[in-house]
């Protein structure tokens, strides 16, 4: 009686399987390079639009024209000054806005009475456009740096406050009860339980608030400014210098991205315990 032979089974070696896996997944690409693909593509599209004369040079200058404008301002020793002053205004406004938002957000998270008292008014103020604050701040504070920093602080406050309060409201009630069982009340409860537990939401709010601060900066530097990137932007518009306008926009984008990168490094360090999905 013939015995049937078992069907042939090809057993691939681990090295072969590993090679196939690498082939399917592709070679690893540095994340920094991936992030440059879209900006490089936008610059290529920009140059293509200039070469095709879709817009005139007075409407859309070439990348080289923008670079030459930057060199011109650098040689005149004003470019670094504009960048430094704008960065200082955003840094001060961010510090004040984020600090006040954290204090108020913790108070709202601790007390339902304070929540019902403050939240409706804060949410109403959040709907006010940035430019609507400008005339009032000029009347109150004049045209110095104080109204500019205040306007940036206003822009930072609302995202940080909203994110922190939302994070506190998502904290497990049992965690708060454990803290109360150990005698934590008021500020000690907020510092030891609420703030650490809401840190992921808070950092998200800080990053959004920082971006909002750069957005409010341009409106802030409409208040009688003679220096800063917002002033440079408006001055380029008034003198029909499209190259300076585009340069100001590019610098605002680079500074916004650079400061957000710093916050993302803080986020990684503060949340190094987190085992969240990275995609």
Looking at residue 276, its pLDDT comes to: 60
Separation between Cα atoms, residue 255 and residue 80, nearest integer Å: 12
| Cα angle: 60, vertex 78, 39; to 5 degrees | 40
Domain layout of the chain by residue ranges: 63-268
pTM of the predicted structure, to 2 decimals: 0.80
Looking at residue 87, its pLDDT comes to: 94
> In this structure, are residues 105 and 160 in contact, taking their beta carbons and an 8 Å threshold?
yes
Looking at residue 270, its pLDDT comes to: 77
Q: State the CATH architecture for 63-268.
A: Orthogonal Bundle (1.10)
**Which of these, 210, 195, 194, 260, lies nearest to 97 by C-alpha position?**
210
Looking at residue 57, its pLDDT comes to: 78
Looking at residue 258, its pLDDT comes to: 92
- Average pLDDT for runs of 10 along the chain of length 279: 47 47 49 80 88 82 90 91 94 95 91 91 90 88 88 94 91 83 81 85 93 90 82 89 92 92 86 63
């Amino acid at each position: 009686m013939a015995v049937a032979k078992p069907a042939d089974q090809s057993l691939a070696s681990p090295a072969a399987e590993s090679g196939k896996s690498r082939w399917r997944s592709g070679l690893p690409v540095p994340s920094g390079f991936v992030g440059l693909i879209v900006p490089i593509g936008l610059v290529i599209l920009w140059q293509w639009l200039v070469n095709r004369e879709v817009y005139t040079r007075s409407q859309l200058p070439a990348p080289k024209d923008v670079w030459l404008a930057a060199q011109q301002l650098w040689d005149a020793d004003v470019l670094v000054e504009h960048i430094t002053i704008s960065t200082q205004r955003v840094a001060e406004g961010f510090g004040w806005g984020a600090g006040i938002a954290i204090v108020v957000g913790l108070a709202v998270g601790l007390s339902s009475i304070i929540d019902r008292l403050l939240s409706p008014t804060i949410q109403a103020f959040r709907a006010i456009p940035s430019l609507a604050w400008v005339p009032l701040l000029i009347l109150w504070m004049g045209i110095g740096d104080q109204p500019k920093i205040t306007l940036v602080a206003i822009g930072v406050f609302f995202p940080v406050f909203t994110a922190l309060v939302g994070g506190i409201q998502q904290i497990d009630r049992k965690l708060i009860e454990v803290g109360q069982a150990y005698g934590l009340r008021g500020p000690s409860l907020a510092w030891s339980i609420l703030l650490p537990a809401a840190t992921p939401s808070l950092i998200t709010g800080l990053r959004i608030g920082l971006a909002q601060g750069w957005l409010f900066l341009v409106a802030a530097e409409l208040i009688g400014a003679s220096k800063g990137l917002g002033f440079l932007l408006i001055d380029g518009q008034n003198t029909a210098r499209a190259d300076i306008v585009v340069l100001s926009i590019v610098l605002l984008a680079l500074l916004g991205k650079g400061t957000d990168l710093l916050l993302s490094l803080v986020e990684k360090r503060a949340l190094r315990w987190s085992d969240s999905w990275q995609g």
